[in-house]
Structure 1
Amino acid sequence: MRNTFGRVFAITTFGESHGKGLGVIIDGCPAGVEIDEDFIRSEMQRRKPGQSKITTQRKEEDEFQILSGVFEGKSTGTPISIVILNTDQKSKDYSHIADKFRPSHADYTYHHKFGVRDYRGGGRSSARETAARVAAGAVAKLMLRSFGVTVQAYVSQAGPIKLEKHYSELDLTLTERNIVRCPDPELAEKMIAYIDEIRKDRDTVGGVVSCVAAGVPPGLGEPVFDRLHAALGHAMLSINAVKGFEYGSGFEGVQMRGSEHNDAFYKEGDRIRTRTNHSGGIQGGISNGEDIYFRVAFKPVATIMQDQESVNEAGESTVVSGKGRHDPCVVPRAVPIVEAMCALVLADFLLLNRLSKL
């Protein structure tokens, strides 16, 4: 099982949902990066459970400890290790599915692949693993600050309720001002009401998180197999419950003619820019200096508070009853996860680019 992501700025995560805790080892972070623990804490708070009525009611403060790699507030260039202890796991909530496979979970596939599985909340397959990613992503964001790169995500769709505006028309500073993390206040209220209605129906719903990376310099990415958008796609599709990724004009671009879709170049001061950005800031797999923007689709949470038909480990028909504490819609808490994975990719490619020019 591979638990490492990245090549130069690389992370390895460990731990399970109902184990003693989770953590991450960050290797390759340059020395001298200011490690702002308050910032890391604020990122963890954005992902933590129990935030509002439309998230799981598991209560985890996601307090963390930095065990190594930081001295007097700055990275030393050695591996940074961070641990997050679990404090509110209720493993008994899962005893009823110890030998049953929950529909659309990783229960059957983990059992088939490894011959053993941790049924308590899914073990390693649980989305709680993303707490470690957010901690590492916060460090990556701190490194990106010195390059003038920012990453900001927001909820652009919850079920059928879709934000039609382009990100350039939005005030993204409004994203954190509501519990669904949509920068359109009016639409946010509709999303919240819809998700709460789904929750009361003992069901779940999916959504879309959009993300914008600004200030990315041109030249990041490698030809052919290690294209920047391929790495971003890999990162996003590695997140629990993700079913789709598109960047730039994405699938809508197929309706355009080449004469409409091509991004014309022009000179603005010392910069070469494009008048439109259907390319999503990436051409030929390499960043061109424009904003990188993409969308990530999340499926409905697989655990629902209803009886579902299934089978057990013996292949016998059975019924799985939903229990425990789960999100009715994952996208509000997925916003910082998407940002974290984007930041990790960009940090890695910035350092790779630096090495290629030595």
Structure 2
Amino acid sequence: MSGSTFGELFRVSTFGESHGAGLGCIIDGCPAGIDVDEEFLQHEMARRRPGAKGAAVTERKESDCAEILSGVFEGKTTGTPIAVLVRNSNQHSSDYDNIKNLFRPGHADFSYYKKYGIRDYRGGGRASGRETCARVAAGAFAKMFLRTQGIEIFAYTKEAAGIKGSKVDFSEIEKNLMRAADKDAAILMQKKVEEFKMSKNSCGGIVECVARGVPAGLGEPVFDKLDAVLSHAVMSIGAVKGIEFGSGFECADSTGLENNDFMESGFEFSTNNAGGILGGISRGDDIIFRAAIKPVPSIYLSQKTVDMNGNACDILIEGRHDVCLCPRIVPVVEAMTAIVLADMTLKNRCSRV
């Protein structure tokens, strides 16, 4: 199976399935000498793990303990490949026995089957959102490296279940179950998600991400523009269906005079409609983008589908599933952003004398 590796210099490969023995990642190219904060690594894993409180999150309970198998010695990276393993311990594979010959609407079941002629029906296998735990582990190491460069990344739920946040306070993100930056909107989001849960349905939302401290000059024109690679990274997350930077699609209804970010003395920009990127290269201010998150496809309502022979039938999905993915996808978006910025930082060291 190709397509399980991302990055060029800071290179990440993930492996494992939702109901297999475990999942993990191999990080190649992480510079030597970085202080490894295992407590921070586990904190990042806990932010994404299933079984947390709240109506939005699946009841599957996993400790998601990240075991570092290689690449770290006496608390520092050695420059050799870093291997991290996360063991599965709470799979309920029998939940899928009654639908193993049916294609679940909104899932990758049909497309995987047509590509490979075989599929792991237990929770979607490799296509499961559980694969993202390996990304978060890799992202934690990328963040440890970015700390040395003064770069910070904050993602949060901008909108969920039709409720939009209007304020942005990064200190509020980890204080509410929706991981919103607006505490008042978070209460309304949570209430609305609970209503979707009671109706056995699901909902989508928007996750916004801000990267601060990114120096000007990151990005590799022409095909590896910073926004292009970030789009690749974020769109590789299964539930993401769209991405926009800065003013995004609103720029289609603006004029050049309105959309241009004027420069002021000291190389400052008066606005940030560009999302911190010009010509595919960072310009030194905040990088800002938003990702559209689709509703969870596994719902507890009867749906139309077909079986392996193409015969029409109904399907009722059981098991344990999220109602809204936004709170758990926040650390995944941060992780993929960190991996890109780590890779681009290393590549930028080769750009000039």
With structure 1 as the length reference, what TM-score do the two structures score?
0.97
Match of 2:349, SS?
helix
Q: Are the aligned partners of 2:166 and 2:182 in contact in 1 as well (CA < 8 Å)?
A: no
Q: Are the aligned partners of 2:99 and 2:317 in contact in 1 as well (CA < 8 Å)?
A: no
Corresponding residue for 2:139? 137
Distance of 2:302 and 2:275 partners within structure 1? 43
Distance of 2:352 and 2:19 partners within structure 1? 45
Corresponding residue for 1:113? 115
Distance of 1:6 and 1:146 partners within structure 2? 20
Distance of 1:247 and 1:95 partners within structure 2? 42
Cα distance per residue 1:256-303 (max 9 Å; x no partner): 2211111111232xxx22111111110000000010000000110000
> Which amino acid counterpart does residue 182 of structure 1 have in structure 2?
A
Corresponding residue for 2:324? 329
- Give the one of 223, 231, 234 matched to 2:232: 234
Match of 2:13, SS?
strand
- The answer to whether 1:185 aligns with 2:183 is yes
Task: State the shift of 1:317 in Å.
Answer: 1.5
- The answer to whether 1:213 aligns with 2:214 is no
Structure 2: tracts of 5 or more residues without a match: none
- Give the one of 57, 60, 80 matched to 1:58: 60
Q: Are the aligned partners of 2:165 and 2:181 in contact in 1 as well (CA < 8 Å)?
A: no
- Give the one of 116, 120, 124 matched to 1:122: 124
Distance of 1:274 and 1:50 partners within structure 2? 43
| Pairing 1:334-349 to 2, within 5 Å after superposition | 334-349=329-344
Task: State the shift of 1:48 in Å.
Answer: 0.4
- Give the one of 285, 288, 294 matched to 1:293: 288
Task: State the shift of 1:220 in Å.
Answer: 0.5
Distance of 2:226 and 2:120 partners within structure 1? 35
Distance of 1:2 and 1:78 partners within structure 2? 22
Task: State the shift of 1:164 in Å.
Answer: 3.3
Task: State the shift of 1:357 in Å.
Answer: 3.0
- Give the one of 197, 222, 246 matched to 1:224: 222
Task: State the shift of 1:147 in Å.
Answer: 0.5
Task: State the shift of 1:184 in Å.
Answer: 1.2
Cα distance per residue 1:98-146 (max 9 Å; x no partner): 1110011000000000000000000000000000000000100000001
Distance of 1:142 and 1:228 partners within structure 2? 20
| Pairing 1:38-77 to 2, within 5 Å after superposition | 38-54=39-55, 55-77=57-79
Cα distance per residue 1:161-215 (max 9 Å; x no partner): 11234xxxx2211110010111211110000000011011100000010000000
How many residue pairs get aligned? The number is 351
Corresponding residue for 2:16? 15
Structure 1: tracts of 5 or more residues without a match: none
> Which amino acid counterpart does residue 106 of structure 1 have in structure 2?
A
> Which amino acid counterpart does residue 254 of structure 1 have in structure 2?
A
Match of 1:349, SS?
helix
Distance of 1:101 and 1:263 partners within structure 2? 48
Distance of 1:261 and 1:107 partners within structure 2? 42
Task: State the shift of 1:97 in Å.
Answer: 1.4
Q: Are the aligned partners of 2:68 and 2:83 in contact in 1 as well (CA < 8 Å)?
A: yes
Runs (4 or more) in structure 1 with deviation over 6 Å come to none
